[in-house]
Amino acid sequence: MKKELSAVILLILMTAIALFNIFHLRSVTGELISLADRAESSTAEGDFASARSYIDAAVALWESEDYYTHIFIAHSEIDGTADSLFNAAAQLSEDKDSSEISAAFNELRYHLMSILRMEEVSIGSIF
Partner 1 sequence: MAIVIIRTLIIYTSIFTVMRLLGKRQLGEMEVSEFVIAALIADLAANTLQDTGVPLLNGVVPVITLFCLEVIVSALGMKSIRLRSVLFGKPSLLIHRGKIDQREMKKNRFTLDELMEQLRAQGLNDISKIEFAVLETSGNLTVIPYPEHQPVSASLLGISPPDKGYSYIIINEGRIMNENLRRAGYDIGWLQKKLREQKLRSAEEVYFMTVNKLGEVYLSLRGENV
- Do 58 and 80 meet the contact criterion of CB atoms below 8 Å apart? no
The answer to whether residues 87 and 104 touch, using CB atoms and an 8 Å cutoff, is yes
Q: At its nearest, how many Å lie between partner 1 and the CB of residue 6?
A: 8
Smallest separation (angstroms) from partner 1 to the CB of 82: 14
Q: Which of 64, 70, 98, 125 binds partner 1 (CB under 8 A)?
A: 70
Residue 122 sits at φ, ψ, to 5 deg, of -150, 165
Helix (H, G, I), strand (E, B) or coil at 124: helix
Q: Does 4 bind partner 1 (CB under 8 A)?
A: yes
Q: Is 76 in the site for partner 1 (CB under 8 A)?
A: yes
Q: Which listed residue (44, 60, 74, 113) binds partner 1 by CB under 8 A?
A: 74
Rg (CA), the chain: 18
Quick check: 2 binds partner 1 (CB under 8 A)? no
CB 55 within 8 A of CB 84: no
Residues in contact with partner 1 by CB under 8 A are 1, 3-4, 6-8, 10-11, 14, 70-76
